Structure 1
């Protein structure tokens, strides 16, 4: 199975169960998570995630609000389906945001 092949629903459910806070949207093929992070730190983190997304050729949807940053992932090139590529970006997002969310908690 390739990076952009749609994953079966059972596989998506299994992978999400191993992740903290990531959920599947009920009305579309998308997974998302909101991170509690200070506004300007979120902007900095977003730049780092954008570089990772560019490397993976992924195009996440992002919402930035005061005190939180939300990532919504679906693979557009697979017809807006959830693929292994989405979960690879999840790993990169988690690694980046862990630095900022921990800094917030300690701050």
Structure 2
């Protein structure tokens, strides 16, 4: 199975169960998570995530609001389906945001 091949629903469910806070949208093939992070730290984190997304040739949807940053992932090149590529980016996002959320908590 390739990085852009759609994953079966049961595989998506299994993989999400192992991830804290990531959920599948009810009305579309997309996974998302909202991180609590200060606004300007979120902007810095976005730069790091953008670099990872570019390396993976992925295009996540992002929402930035006061005190939170949300990532929504689907593989557009697979017909807006959830693929291994989405989970690779999840790992990168978690690595980046963990640093910013922890730094914010430390003050």
Deviation at 1:103, TM superposition (A): 1.0
Aligned 1:3-42 pairs, distance under 5 A: 3-42=3-42
2:90 aligned with 1:76, yes or no?
Answer: no
SS where residue 100 of structure 1 aligns? helix
Tell me how large the CA RMSD over aligned residues is: 0.4
**Stretches (4+) displaced over 2 A:** none
Q: CA deviation at 1:104?
A: 1.4
Secondary structure of 2:19's aligned partner: coil
1:38 and 1:70 mapped to 2: Cα distance?
12
Unmatched runs of 5 consecutive residues or more in structure 2: none
Q: Can you give the 5+ residue segments of structure 1 that lack an aligned partner in the other structure?
A: none
The answer to whether 1:60 aligns with 2:60 is: yes
Secondary structure, aligned partner of 1:43:
helix
- Pairwise CA distance, 1:20: 0.4
- Mapped partners of 1:23, 1:101: distance in 2: 19
Paired residues in the alignment total: 107
Residue 105 of structure 1 deviates from its aligned partner by 1.4
Equivalent-residue separation in structure 2 for 1:101 and 1:22 (angstroms): 16
- 1:87 counterpart residue number: 87
**TM-score of the aligned structures, taking structure 1 as reference length:** 0.99
